[in-house]
Copies of this chain bind each other. A is one copy, B any other.
């Protein structure tokens, strides 16, 4: 491997050369080693293109296992035989299977961001925790930062009426850590995972920490059982939220899919690299393993951060208190369908 590419000649100081490594399906019985070989291929391709950082999607080492009930079920916590369930989690990182990826990153001097299911060692109370996790690995092959998913979608108990399950709320705890921004790769880098990207708070919490690039991996089924009217809008919504998050915070966003038809479930692809203007500057055109790249000028963030979205000058934090108010719930509950003024307002229509 050599860097006889034109990168060194043209690379600008505040540019970050990014590879977004979309993955196609991972079969339920596909061994870790085989998956890691796919990741290595994409990492090497990234190195050839001069990338400094290659971003893999959420849960990039296994099939999307929350689509099955894998324990005894019931309303309570995980119980019974958890052998298969546990097999999808990593108990250390690097693990035996992923060590190759760390070694190759160091050899190539290409960092990466990797999503996986994390099963922690027992805490002081003897409890092991399960998180949906991202690690950011530097160009020296060392872990620079870890992020655990804050917004966990789906449901807690087995719901047999669904064509497939989305048991993330059974298999993952909500992050206790929140959104941090890290000095890495010459910029301010943040991470988010899948459903996080639909919440404006995700980008804003990092935007207020000066984030310049948000890395987001996702697995998004094209069939949303609770409301199928959203199905044809999946691709639109995916880009809408990431483009708005980028623009409204003056940050780059790298959205990376695991797409295609995995174990009979079709998921969104459309991996995209989005500029602080909200513009999509690179987009995947397949539903399989595919690397897309962009040269991201981190100084472009200031075009928005120092003008229209100069937070210090224009934001009104004193007007936003309900956003962090844990009792806001009651406000929503008070929406009454049978409003006293409803009749008054809808009558008088007839001449």
Contact = CB atoms under 8 A, between A and B. Distances in A.
Interface of A: 2-4, 7-8, 11, 13, 52, 109, 138-139, 150-153, 174-175, 178-179, 183-186, 188, 195, 198-201, 203-205, 208-210, 224, 226-227, 229-230, 233, 236-237, 240-241, 243-244, 247-248, 277-279, 303-305, 307-309, 311-312, 314-326, 328-329, 331-335, 339, 341-342, 345-346, 348-351
Contacts of A188: 335
Contact of A345 (B174, B175, B185, B320): B185
Given A308-B153, A308-B198, A349 B8 contact: yes
A240 B52 CA distance: 30
7 contacts: A3-B350, A109-B348, A109-B349, A153-B314, A230-B303, A311-B329, A317-B324
A198 B207 CA distance: 14
Contact of A7 (B203, B247, B349): B349
Most interface-central of A186, A305, A316 (chain B CB within 10 A):
A316
Contact of A315 (B199, B203, B236, B315): B199
A215 to B, nearest CB: 16
A345 B138 contact: yes
A305 B335 CA distance: 12
A240 to B, nearest CB: 6
Nearest to A342: B186
B326 A179 contact: no
A233 B109 contact: no
Give the 5 A-B residue pairs with the shortest CB-CB distance, closest first: A200-B200, A244-B244, A210-B335, A226-B307, A178-B319
Copies in the complex: 2
A348 B233 CA distance: 44
Contacts of A178: 316, 319
Contacts of A152: 314
A151 B332 contact: no
Contacts of A318: 324, 326
Nearest to A153: B314
A339 B305 CA distance: 19
